[in-house]
Structure 1
Amino acid sequence: MKYCVFLIFFVFSLSAFAQNKPIQDKLIQFSGIITDIDSANVIPYVTITNLSAKDTRVAADYRGYFTFIVNPGDTILFTAIGYKKFSTIVPLGTPDNKYTIMVKMTSDVINLPTVRVFPWATTEEFTREFLTMKIADDDLAIAKKNLSKSSINGLILTLPRDGGEISSQNYRYNFDRLINKNMVQTNPLLNPFAWSKLMQQIFEGDKSRKEN
Protein backbone atom coordinates (compact mmCIF):
# COMPACT_ATOMS: atom_id res chain seq x y z
CA MET A 1 0.00 0.00 0.00
CA LYS A 2 2.84 2.38 0.84
CA TYR A 3 4.48 1.67 -2.50
CA CYS A 4 1.25 2.49 -4.35
CA VAL A 5 0.87 5.84 -2.57
CA PHE A 6 4.52 6.71 -3.27
CA LEU A 7 4.13 5.76 -6.93
CA ILE A 8 1.01 7.92 -7.34
CA PHE A 9 2.74 10.87 -5.66
CA PHE A 10 5.77 10.43 -7.89
CA VAL A 11 3.62 10.41 -11.04
CA PHE A 12 1.82 13.65 -10.03
CA SER A 13 5.18 15.27 -9.28
CA LEU A 14 6.54 14.39 -12.71
CA SER A 15 3.42 15.73 -14.43
CA ALA A 16 3.60 19.03 -12.50
CA PHE A 17 7.30 19.35 -13.27
CA ALA A 18 6.65 18.59 -16.92
CA GLN A 19 4.04 21.37 -17.05
CA ASN A 20 6.23 24.00 -15.36
CA LYS A 21 9.52 23.26 -17.12
CA PRO A 22 8.44 24.30 -20.65
CA ILE A 23 7.29 27.67 -19.31
CA GLN A 24 10.64 28.33 -17.61
CA ASP A 25 12.71 27.18 -20.57
CA LYS A 26 10.63 28.98 -23.20
CA LEU A 27 12.55 31.60 -25.22
CA ILE A 28 10.88 34.85 -26.25
CA GLN A 29 12.08 37.55 -28.67
CA PHE A 30 11.71 40.70 -26.56
CA SER A 31 11.58 43.88 -28.72
CA GLY A 32 10.46 47.48 -28.41
CA ILE A 33 11.18 51.18 -28.79
CA ILE A 34 12.16 53.55 -25.98
CA THR A 35 10.72 57.07 -26.03
CA ASP A 36 10.39 60.09 -23.77
CA ILE A 37 7.08 60.18 -21.94
CA ASP A 38 6.72 63.96 -22.39
CA SER A 39 7.92 64.65 -25.92
CA ALA A 40 7.58 61.18 -27.51
CA ASN A 41 11.12 61.54 -28.88
CA VAL A 42 13.19 58.37 -29.04
CA ILE A 43 15.93 57.90 -26.46
CA PRO A 44 19.05 56.38 -28.04
CA TYR A 45 21.60 54.00 -26.51
CA VAL A 46 19.62 53.07 -23.39
CA THR A 47 21.22 50.34 -21.25
CA ILE A 48 18.91 47.33 -20.80
CA THR A 49 19.70 44.84 -18.01
CA ASN A 50 18.10 41.44 -17.56
CA LEU A 51 18.11 41.09 -13.77
CA SER A 52 16.89 37.49 -13.98
CA ALA A 53 19.74 36.35 -16.27
CA LYS A 54 22.80 37.29 -14.19
CA ASP A 55 22.47 40.99 -15.08
CA THR A 56 22.97 40.43 -18.78
CA ARG A 57 23.18 43.82 -20.52
CA VAL A 58 22.32 45.00 -24.01
CA ALA A 59 21.93 48.49 -25.49
CA ALA A 60 19.33 50.11 -27.68
CA ASP A 61 20.45 51.63 -30.99
CA TYR A 62 20.39 55.29 -32.02
CA ARG A 63 16.68 54.98 -32.92
CA GLY A 64 15.77 53.69 -29.46
CA TYR A 65 15.06 50.21 -30.83
CA PHE A 66 16.09 47.01 -29.02
CA THR A 67 15.57 43.27 -29.42
CA PHE A 68 17.04 40.29 -27.55
CA ILE A 69 16.10 36.87 -26.13
CA VAL A 70 14.47 36.52 -22.70
CA ASN A 71 12.50 33.96 -20.71
CA PRO A 72 8.96 34.40 -19.37
CA GLY A 73 8.99 36.07 -15.96
CA ASP A 74 12.35 37.83 -16.45
CA THR A 75 12.72 41.28 -14.88
CA ILE A 76 14.09 43.87 -17.35
CA LEU A 77 15.62 47.17 -16.18
CA PHE A 78 16.06 50.23 -18.44
CA THR A 79 18.59 52.93 -17.43
CA ALA A 80 19.80 56.09 -19.19
CA ILE A 81 21.59 59.26 -18.12
CA GLY A 82 19.09 62.00 -17.36
CA TYR A 83 16.13 59.61 -17.01
CA LYS A 84 14.59 57.70 -14.15
CA LYS A 85 14.97 53.91 -14.05
CA PHE A 86 12.18 51.85 -15.58
CA SER A 87 11.62 48.13 -15.00
CA THR A 88 9.14 45.62 -16.40
CA ILE A 89 8.45 41.88 -16.16
CA VAL A 90 7.99 39.65 -19.17
CA PRO A 91 4.52 38.04 -18.83
CA LEU A 92 4.38 34.32 -18.19
CA GLY A 93 1.34 33.73 -20.36
CA THR A 94 2.81 34.96 -23.64
CA PRO A 95 0.97 33.02 -26.39
CA ASP A 96 3.75 33.15 -29.02
CA ASN A 97 7.52 33.53 -29.05
CA LYS A 98 7.46 37.31 -29.49
CA TYR A 99 6.74 40.10 -27.05
CA THR A 100 6.76 43.79 -28.03
CA ILE A 101 6.59 46.76 -25.67
CA MET A 102 6.66 50.55 -25.89
CA VAL A 103 8.93 51.83 -23.12
CA LYS A 104 8.28 55.41 -21.96
CA MET A 105 10.93 56.86 -19.65
CA THR A 106 10.55 59.96 -17.50
CA SER A 107 13.30 62.57 -17.48
CA ASP A 108 15.07 63.06 -14.17
CA VAL A 109 15.58 66.82 -13.74
CA ILE A 110 17.84 68.03 -10.94
CA ASN A 111 17.65 71.74 -10.15
CA LEU A 112 20.97 72.99 -8.80
CA PRO A 113 21.10 76.11 -6.61
CA THR A 114 22.35 79.33 -8.17
CA VAL A 115 26.01 80.08 -7.52
CA ARG A 116 27.45 83.58 -7.93
CA VAL A 117 31.18 83.87 -8.40
CA PHE A 118 32.83 87.22 -7.59
CA PRO A 119 36.45 87.92 -8.58
CA TRP A 120 37.03 90.17 -5.55
CA ALA A 121 37.85 88.76 -2.16
CA THR A 122 36.61 91.73 -0.11
CA THR A 123 34.32 94.74 -0.49
CA GLU A 124 37.29 97.13 -0.20
CA GLU A 125 39.00 95.43 -3.11
CA PHE A 126 35.85 95.76 -5.22
CA THR A 127 35.52 99.45 -4.34
CA ARG A 128 39.13 100.14 -5.29
CA GLU A 129 38.81 98.33 -8.60
CA PHE A 130 35.52 100.07 -9.37
CA LEU A 131 36.89 103.55 -8.74
CA THR A 132 39.94 102.97 -10.95
CA MET A 133 37.94 101.30 -13.71
CA LYS A 134 37.69 103.09 -17.05
CA ILE A 135 34.13 103.05 -18.34
CA ALA A 136 33.89 102.12 -21.98
CA ASP A 137 32.27 104.50 -24.45
CA ASP A 138 28.75 103.88 -25.62
CA ASP A 139 27.83 103.24 -29.26
CA LEU A 140 27.19 106.93 -30.03
CA ALA A 141 30.59 108.00 -28.69
CA ILE A 142 32.35 105.25 -30.63
CA ALA A 143 30.52 106.28 -33.84
CA LYS A 144 31.55 109.94 -33.37
CA LYS A 145 35.18 108.93 -32.92
CA ASN A 146 35.13 106.77 -36.03
CA LEU A 147 33.56 109.58 -38.13
CA SER A 148 35.83 112.37 -36.88
CA LYS A 149 38.08 114.28 -39.32
CA SER A 150 41.30 112.94 -37.83
CA SER A 151 40.05 109.36 -37.95
CA ILE A 152 38.95 109.64 -41.59
CA ASN A 153 42.25 111.29 -42.60
CA GLY A 154 44.15 108.49 -40.90
CA LEU A 155 42.07 105.92 -42.76
CA ILE A 156 42.75 107.70 -46.06
CA LEU A 157 46.49 107.47 -45.48
CA THR A 158 46.51 103.84 -44.36
CA LEU A 159 43.71 102.10 -46.24
CA PRO A 160 44.53 100.83 -49.75
CA ARG A 161 42.47 101.98 -52.69
CA ASP A 162 39.65 99.67 -53.64
CA GLY A 163 38.45 98.66 -57.09
CA GLY A 164 35.68 101.24 -57.21
CA GLU A 165 38.02 104.16 -56.52
CA ILE A 166 40.55 103.03 -59.13
CA SER A 167 37.79 102.53 -61.70
CA SER A 168 36.36 106.01 -61.02
CA GLN A 169 39.77 107.64 -61.40
CA ASN A 170 40.45 105.84 -64.67
CA TYR A 171 37.04 106.92 -65.94
CA ARG A 172 37.75 110.60 -65.15
CA TYR A 173 41.19 110.39 -66.77
CA ASN A 174 39.81 108.86 -69.98
CA PHE A 175 36.99 111.44 -70.07
CA ASP A 176 39.40 114.39 -69.75
CA ARG A 177 41.66 112.96 -72.43
CA LEU A 178 38.67 112.49 -74.75
CA ILE A 179 37.49 116.10 -74.22
CA ASN A 180 40.95 117.67 -74.77
CA LYS A 181 42.13 115.47 -77.64
CA ASN A 182 41.53 118.29 -80.26
CA MET A 183 43.21 121.02 -78.19
CA VAL A 184 46.87 121.75 -79.17
CA GLN A 185 49.02 123.17 -76.41
CA THR A 186 51.91 125.28 -77.83
CA ASN A 187 55.22 125.93 -76.19
CA PRO A 188 55.43 129.68 -75.18
CA LEU A 189 59.16 129.74 -75.97
CA LEU A 190 58.38 129.16 -79.65
CA ASN A 191 55.56 131.74 -79.80
CA PRO A 192 56.75 135.06 -81.37
CA PHE A 193 53.85 136.98 -79.91
CA ALA A 194 54.92 135.92 -76.46
CA TRP A 195 58.47 137.14 -77.16
CA SER A 196 57.10 140.45 -78.42
CA LYS A 197 54.99 140.92 -75.32
CA LEU A 198 57.99 140.13 -73.14
CA MET A 199 60.21 142.70 -74.89
CA GLN A 200 57.47 145.31 -74.60
CA GLN A 201 57.22 144.73 -70.87
CA ILE A 202 61.01 145.09 -70.53
CA PHE A 203 61.10 148.38 -72.48
CA GLU A 204 58.18 149.77 -70.48
CA GLY A 205 59.97 148.82 -67.30
CA ASP A 206 63.19 150.60 -68.34
CA LYS A 207 61.22 153.72 -69.36
CA SER A 208 59.41 153.90 -66.02
CA ARG A 209 62.70 153.59 -64.12
CA LYS A 210 64.24 156.45 -66.13
CA GLU A 211 61.29 158.70 -65.43
CA ASN A 212 61.60 157.98 -61.74
Structure 2
Amino acid sequence: MKLRSLILMVCLLAGIGAFAQTNKGNSNRPLVQFTGIIYNADSAKVIVPYVTITNLSNSNSVYVGNYKGYFSFVVHENDTLRFTAVGFAPLDMVIPTDLDSRSYTVRLAMKPQVISLPAFHMFPWATTDEFRKDFLTMKLADDDLELARKNLSKGLTTVPSYASMPRDANEIQSDIGRDMHNRVMNSHSLMPNPLLNPLAWGSLIKLITDGGSKSKN
Protein backbone atom coordinates (compact mmCIF):
# COMPACT_ATOMS: atom_id res chain seq x y z
CA MET A 1 0.00 0.00 0.00
CA LYS A 2 2.86 2.34 0.91
CA LEU A 3 4.70 1.43 -2.29
CA ARG A 4 1.62 2.31 -4.38
CA SER A 5 1.30 5.69 -2.67
CA LEU A 6 4.99 6.37 -3.22
CA ILE A 7 4.71 5.58 -6.94
CA LEU A 8 1.63 7.82 -7.26
CA MET A 9 3.44 10.69 -5.54
CA VAL A 10 6.49 10.34 -7.80
CA CYS A 11 4.30 10.42 -10.92
CA LEU A 12 2.45 13.49 -9.63
CA LEU A 13 5.69 15.33 -8.95
CA ALA A 14 7.04 14.41 -12.40
CA GLY A 15 3.87 15.76 -14.06
CA ILE A 16 4.05 19.00 -12.09
CA GLY A 17 7.71 19.39 -13.03
CA ALA A 18 7.03 18.82 -16.73
CA PHE A 19 4.14 21.30 -16.68
CA ALA A 20 6.29 23.88 -14.92
CA GLN A 21 9.09 23.34 -17.42
CA THR A 22 6.65 23.81 -20.31
CA ASN A 23 5.25 27.00 -18.85
CA LYS A 24 8.78 28.21 -18.20
CA GLY A 25 9.73 27.51 -21.82
CA ASN A 26 6.64 29.35 -23.09
CA SER A 27 7.27 32.28 -20.76
CA ASN A 28 10.72 32.76 -22.26
CA ARG A 29 9.18 33.32 -25.69
CA PRO A 30 7.48 36.65 -26.43
CA LEU A 31 3.73 36.82 -26.84
CA VAL A 32 2.28 37.76 -30.23
CA GLN A 33 -1.22 38.90 -31.22
CA PHE A 34 -1.94 36.56 -34.15
CA THR A 35 -4.59 37.84 -36.57
CA GLY A 36 -5.66 36.76 -40.02
CA ILE A 37 -8.31 35.82 -42.59
CA ILE A 38 -8.66 32.43 -44.26
CA TYR A 39 -9.57 32.18 -47.95
CA ASN A 40 -10.25 29.39 -50.41
CA ALA A 41 -7.12 28.57 -52.42
CA ASP A 42 -9.20 28.15 -55.61
CA SER A 43 -10.75 31.62 -55.31
CA ALA A 44 -9.23 34.58 -53.50
CA LYS A 45 -12.69 36.10 -52.99
CA VAL A 46 -14.25 33.10 -51.21
CA ILE A 47 -13.61 32.88 -47.47
CA VAL A 48 -13.60 29.70 -45.38
CA PRO A 49 -15.83 30.16 -42.31
CA TYR A 50 -15.56 28.55 -38.87
CA VAL A 51 -12.05 27.15 -39.28
CA THR A 52 -10.68 25.24 -36.27
CA ILE A 53 -7.20 26.42 -35.22
CA THR A 54 -5.17 24.20 -32.89
CA ASN A 55 -2.01 25.40 -31.16
CA LEU A 56 0.12 22.24 -31.14
CA SER A 57 2.83 23.94 -29.07
CA ASN A 58 0.53 25.07 -26.25
CA SER A 59 -1.29 21.97 -24.97
CA ASN A 60 -3.39 21.76 -28.16
CA SER A 61 -5.34 24.91 -27.38
CA VAL A 62 -8.24 25.28 -29.81
CA TYR A 63 -9.58 28.48 -31.40
CA VAL A 64 -12.29 28.98 -34.03
CA GLY A 65 -12.56 31.58 -36.79
CA ASN A 66 -15.83 33.42 -37.31
CA TYR A 67 -18.25 33.16 -40.24
CA LYS A 68 -16.18 35.69 -42.22
CA GLY A 69 -13.00 33.64 -41.87
CA TYR A 70 -11.48 36.13 -39.40
CA PHE A 71 -9.55 35.10 -36.26
CA SER A 72 -7.40 36.82 -33.63
CA PHE A 73 -5.79 35.37 -30.49
CA VAL A 74 -2.53 35.41 -28.54
CA VAL A 75 0.30 32.96 -29.27
CA HIS A 76 4.01 32.64 -28.59
CA GLU A 77 6.75 33.00 -31.14
CA ASN A 78 7.72 29.72 -32.82
CA ASP A 79 4.33 28.12 -31.97
CA THR A 80 3.04 25.55 -34.46
CA LEU A 81 -0.60 26.05 -35.49
CA ARG A 82 -2.85 23.69 -37.46
CA PHE A 83 -5.89 24.91 -39.43
CA THR A 84 -8.64 22.38 -40.20
CA ALA A 85 -12.07 22.66 -41.81
CA VAL A 86 -14.55 20.24 -43.33
CA GLY A 87 -13.85 19.80 -47.05
CA PHE A 88 -10.36 21.32 -46.90
CA ALA A 89 -6.87 19.87 -46.47
CA PRO A 90 -5.20 20.60 -43.10
CA LEU A 91 -2.75 23.49 -43.08
CA ASP A 92 0.18 23.90 -40.66
CA MET A 93 2.20 27.05 -40.02
CA VAL A 94 4.80 28.27 -37.52
CA ILE A 95 4.80 31.72 -35.93
CA PRO A 96 8.07 33.38 -36.91
CA THR A 97 10.57 34.69 -34.35
CA ASP A 98 12.25 38.08 -33.91
CA LEU A 99 9.21 40.02 -35.08
CA ASP A 100 9.44 43.80 -35.28
CA SER A 101 6.14 44.22 -33.43
CA ARG A 102 4.02 42.22 -31.03
CA SER A 103 1.35 41.57 -33.70
CA TYR A 104 1.43 39.26 -36.69
CA THR A 105 -1.18 39.36 -39.48
CA VAL A 106 -1.50 36.75 -42.21
CA ARG A 107 -3.71 35.89 -45.16
CA LEU A 108 -4.02 32.11 -45.39
CA ALA A 109 -5.34 30.00 -48.26
CA MET A 110 -6.74 26.51 -47.61
CA LYS A 111 -6.94 24.04 -50.48
CA PRO A 112 -10.27 22.20 -51.01
CA GLN A 113 -10.08 18.46 -50.55
CA VAL A 114 -12.39 16.07 -52.41
CA ILE A 115 -12.96 12.72 -50.71
CA SER A 116 -14.54 9.93 -52.77
CA LEU A 117 -16.88 7.87 -50.62
CA PRO A 118 -17.76 4.26 -51.48
CA ALA A 119 -20.98 3.67 -53.39
CA PHE A 120 -24.08 3.03 -51.30
CA HIS A 121 -26.90 0.92 -52.71
CA MET A 122 -30.46 1.12 -51.41
CA PHE A 123 -32.91 -1.77 -51.79
CA PRO A 124 -36.72 -1.64 -51.57
CA TRP A 125 -36.93 -4.55 -49.13
CA ALA A 126 -37.01 -3.80 -45.41
CA THR A 127 -36.32 -7.40 -44.34
CA THR A 128 -34.88 -10.56 -45.83
CA ASP A 129 -38.33 -12.18 -45.70
CA GLU A 130 -39.74 -9.55 -48.06
CA PHE A 131 -36.82 -10.05 -50.42
CA ARG A 132 -37.30 -13.85 -50.37
CA LYS A 133 -41.02 -13.48 -51.10
CA ASP A 134 -40.47 -11.13 -54.05
CA PHE A 135 -37.66 -13.29 -55.37
CA LEU A 136 -39.79 -16.44 -55.39
CA THR A 137 -42.68 -14.69 -57.14
CA MET A 138 -40.49 -12.85 -59.63
CA LYS A 139 -41.06 -13.57 -63.32
CA LEU A 140 -37.77 -13.84 -65.17
CA ALA A 141 -37.44 -12.31 -68.61
CA ASP A 142 -36.93 -14.57 -71.62
CA ASP A 143 -33.36 -15.07 -72.76
CA ASP A 144 -32.23 -14.90 -76.41
CA LEU A 145 -32.78 -18.62 -77.01
CA GLU A 146 -36.35 -18.50 -75.72
CA LEU A 147 -37.12 -15.40 -77.80
CA ALA A 148 -35.80 -17.14 -80.92
CA ARG A 149 -37.90 -20.24 -80.15
CA LYS A 150 -41.05 -18.10 -79.83
CA ASN A 151 -40.31 -16.26 -83.07
CA LEU A 152 -39.95 -19.59 -84.91
CA SER A 153 -43.08 -21.16 -83.47
CA LYS A 154 -45.64 -22.83 -85.80
CA GLY A 155 -48.15 -20.05 -85.32
CA LEU A 156 -45.78 -17.51 -86.87
CA THR A 157 -44.31 -19.65 -89.65
CA THR A 158 -47.53 -20.34 -91.62
CA VAL A 159 -47.97 -19.46 -95.28
CA PRO A 160 -50.24 -16.41 -94.71
CA SER A 161 -47.61 -14.84 -92.45
CA TYR A 162 -44.96 -15.31 -95.14
CA ALA A 163 -47.31 -13.89 -97.75
CA SER A 164 -47.89 -10.75 -95.71
CA MET A 165 -44.18 -10.15 -95.18
CA PRO A 166 -42.41 -7.86 -97.69
CA ARG A 167 -39.63 -9.28 -99.80
CA ASP A 168 -36.07 -8.51 -98.75
CA ALA A 169 -33.28 -7.26 -101.01
CA ASN A 170 -31.80 -10.70 -101.67
CA GLU A 171 -35.12 -12.10 -102.84
CA ILE A 172 -35.76 -9.13 -105.14
CA GLN A 173 -32.26 -9.38 -106.59
CA SER A 174 -32.72 -13.11 -107.25
CA ASP A 175 -36.01 -12.53 -109.08
CA ILE A 176 -34.48 -9.78 -111.21
CA GLY A 177 -31.49 -11.96 -112.08
CA ARG A 178 -33.73 -14.89 -113.00
CA ASP A 179 -35.90 -12.69 -115.22
CA MET A 180 -32.87 -11.24 -116.98
CA HIS A 181 -31.51 -14.74 -117.56
CA ASN A 182 -34.80 -15.87 -119.13
CA ARG A 183 -34.85 -12.81 -121.39
CA VAL A 184 -31.30 -13.47 -122.58
CA MET A 185 -32.02 -17.14 -123.23
CA ASN A 186 -35.22 -16.35 -125.20
CA SER A 187 -33.96 -13.24 -126.98
CA HIS A 188 -33.69 -15.11 -130.35
CA SER A 189 -36.84 -17.20 -129.95
CA LEU A 190 -40.50 -16.71 -129.30
CA MET A 191 -41.56 -16.33 -125.68
CA PRO A 192 -43.72 -19.29 -124.63
CA ASN A 193 -47.35 -18.41 -124.07
CA PRO A 194 -48.61 -19.96 -120.79
CA LEU A 195 -52.18 -20.01 -122.17
CA LEU A 196 -51.11 -22.65 -124.69
CA ASN A 197 -49.41 -24.80 -122.07
CA PRO A 198 -51.68 -27.67 -120.92
CA LEU A 199 -49.66 -28.14 -117.74
CA ALA A 200 -50.33 -24.52 -116.77
CA TRP A 201 -54.06 -25.04 -117.37
CA GLY A 202 -53.99 -28.15 -115.20
CA SER A 203 -52.28 -26.26 -112.37
CA LEU A 204 -54.84 -23.44 -112.62
CA ILE A 205 -57.80 -25.86 -112.49
CA LYS A 206 -56.25 -27.65 -109.51
CA LEU A 207 -55.81 -24.34 -107.61
CA ILE A 208 -59.45 -23.37 -108.31
CA THR A 209 -60.68 -26.79 -107.16
CA ASP A 210 -58.61 -26.72 -103.97
CA GLY A 211 -59.80 -23.19 -103.18
CA GLY A 212 -63.44 -24.18 -103.60
CA SER A 213 -63.10 -27.19 -101.32
CA LYS A 214 -61.41 -25.11 -98.64
CA SER A 215 -64.14 -22.46 -98.75
CA LYS A 216 -66.86 -25.13 -98.31
CA ASN A 217 -65.05 -26.59 -95.32
Please report the TM-score for the alignment, with normalisation by the length of structure 2.
Answer: 0.44
Larger Cα-atom Rg: 1
